[in-house]
Amino acid sequence: MTSLPTVTGDKRLGLVIDLDTCVGCHACATNCKEWNTSGHSAPLTDVNAYQAEQRGVWFNRVFTYEVGGQGPSARTVHFPKNCLHCEKPDCVTVCPTGASYKRAEDGIVLIDHDKCIGCKLCSWACPYGAREYDEDVGVMKKCTLCIDKIYNKNLPEGDRVPACVATCPSKARHFGDFADPDSKVSQLVRERGGFDLMPETGYRPTSKYLPPRPGNGANGAPKKLEPAPDLAGAGKFLRWVDRVLSR
């Protein structure tokens, strides 16, 4: 049923992504691919994997932006992006087959790959570019919030988090329940001013982003660097003299 659930359950699961600590290492994207290519959405097909024009299904893609123009206030922000499991997901309601659905119990947006006809309309309806077409299987695929991991009783409790969260080396990704005001993700959003992407579209994403903390404006950095002396043509002895006198 592609109508949105009228009753909401106890949980609203999602991610908090910290743009302050993300170092842009792409580990989240890689571990996501690793887990999901053999799980609920398997396979995440790659085409031309070892030659030119390679393409394939990834649930997580890491962009890098330059913010604040040039000068001391400029900064580089790494920006991982995946499905935000919106409260008002048009990708679900446009689906003609009932393959797309939003779970009432935890708000996760999923695709039933056995019902999908591969019309791609859901990808047209998503402003975040979170749904991708698997041209080999002929159906759409998307982030499941690692539904086959977070509820997996065969895993130790500490491992029951999405693959992207488990692997992040800079702890820039947090998983939790936004319906619980005392959960870690709810606290992070409150304390750090978590925000929605493209709030003007009205999709009301569940997952939030934390802004980079204010920089120190390059305080303490030397105002001007002295040019290195020209030692071209100097022999070993003169270079030693230069080193001694430079101390």
Partner 1 sequence: MHPAYSVILFTTASGAGYGLLALLAVFGAAGVLPANTWLGFVGIGLGVALVVAGLLSSTFHLGRPERAVRAFTQWRSSWLAREGVAAVVAFAPIAIFGIGWVFLNDTSGPFAWAGAATAVMAFVTVCCTAMIYASLKTIRQWNNALTLPAYLVLGLATGAILLVTISALFGVYRPAFATLAVVLLALGLAIKLAYWRQIDTERPRSTLGTATGLDRFGEVRLLEMPHTEENFIMREMGYSVARKHARRLRIVAALTLFVVPLALLALALWSGPSLAIAMGILATLSAGVGVAVERWLFFAEATHASMIYYGRAA
Q: How far apart are CA 220 and CA 4, in angstroms?
A: 54
Show Cβ contacts of residue 181 under 8 Å, excluding neighbours closer than 6 positions: none
Asked if 212 touches partner 1 (CB under 8 A), the answer is: yes
Asked if 23 touches partner 1 (CB under 8 A), the answer is: no
Q: What single letter denotes the amino acid at residue 52? A: A
Show Cβ contacts of residue 3 under 8 Å, excluding neighbours closer than 6 positions: 93
Nearest approach, Cβ of 229 to partner 1 (angstroms)?
A: 34
- By CB under 8 A, the residues from 1 to 20 that bind partner 1 are 1-4, 19
Tell me the HSE value of 97 on the side-chain side, using a 13 A CA sphere: 16
Task: Select from 23, 76, 190, 240 the one that contacts partner 1 (CB under 8 A).
Answer: 76
Stretch that binds partner 1, among 47-55, 144-152, 154-162, 165-173 (CB under 8 A): 47-55
Asked if 38 touches partner 1 (CB under 8 A), the answer is: no
Show Cβ contacts of residue 154 under 8 Å, excluding neighbours closer than 6 positions: none
- By CB under 8 A, the residues from 146 to 185 that bind partner 1 are none
Asked if 192 touches partner 1 (CB under 8 A), the answer is: no
- By CB under 8 A, the residues from 80 to 139 that bind partner 1 are 81, 90, 92-99, 115-121, 123-129, 132-135, 137-139
- Specify the pairing of strand 100-102 against strand 75-81: unpaired
